[in-house]
Amino acid sequence: MKSLAEAAQAIQQINIVRHTIIDDGQFPNNALFPLIVLQKAIPSPNARLLEEIFESNRWVSSWRNGIYDYHHYHSTAHEVLGVTRGTGRVQFGGPSGITIPLEAGDVVIIPAGVAHKRIESEDDFEVVGAYPEGQQYDIKKGDKDDRPKADENIKRVPLPQSDPVYGIDGPLIKNWSTSPNASQ
């Protein structure tokens, strides 16, 4: 296994894909902060390495697993998912949202409120997830009773202090700090 320092040196220029996902009536999503996909952000990823990188950038409470096969979102926290093994397709934004293919080395930063669901994956598909320090996640499934409380929660979720992969100068900070919601 590579050390954290070796991994940091190996992180290369990556393709950054942004998607603004608006309220679909069932899921609040997040029109203020874009979903960020860092394609091939981590060369030769493994679960322990991603946990260390996320934790070093103040994204904590990490877990290892797949992604739920039902639409859900978090109204009290942003989330990062780093793919450690395999490939999969994940839908963001609810049933009429966008579907994105993901593979080992990809990292997705999901703003609070954005629904996500695994559509399909290889048997060995594994991700490491984490949340910004100080944020406690909840799980919402798009039930009518979730709102408007979930909408209020989402408005109060603060910006993370750093990008989960690249730290305080990372693309997340550059993309989200220019959002109209950045003054929270």
- For residue 173, being part of any structural domain is answered with no
- For residue 28, being part of any structural domain is answered with yes
69, two tokens = 């096969």
- For residue 177, being part of any structural domain is answered with no
Q: How many Å apart are CA 50 and CA 175, to the nearest integer?
A: 22
Q: Give residue 24's Cα distance to chain centre.
A: 19
- For residue 155, being part of any structural domain is answered with yes
Find the CATH number of the domain harbouring 86: 2.60.120.10
pLDDT in tens, 76-132: 999 999 999 999 999 999 999 999 999 999 999 999 999 999 999 999 999 999 999
- For residue 172, being part of any structural domain is answered with no
The pLDDT value recorded for residue 184 is 44
- For residue 127, being part of any structural domain is answered with yes
For 43-69, give the DSSP string: SS--HHHHHHHHHHTTEEEEEEE---S
Task: Please count the structural domains in the chain.
Answer: 1
- For residue 176, being part of any structural domain is answered with no
- For residue 182, being part of any structural domain is answered with no
pLDDT in tens, 150-165: 999 999 999 999 999 9
Q: How many Å apart are CA 181 and CA 14, to the nearest integer?
A: 26
Its domain, for residue 63, covers 4-165
- Which residue type does 184 have? Q
Sign of CA dihedral 159, 161, 165, 167: positive
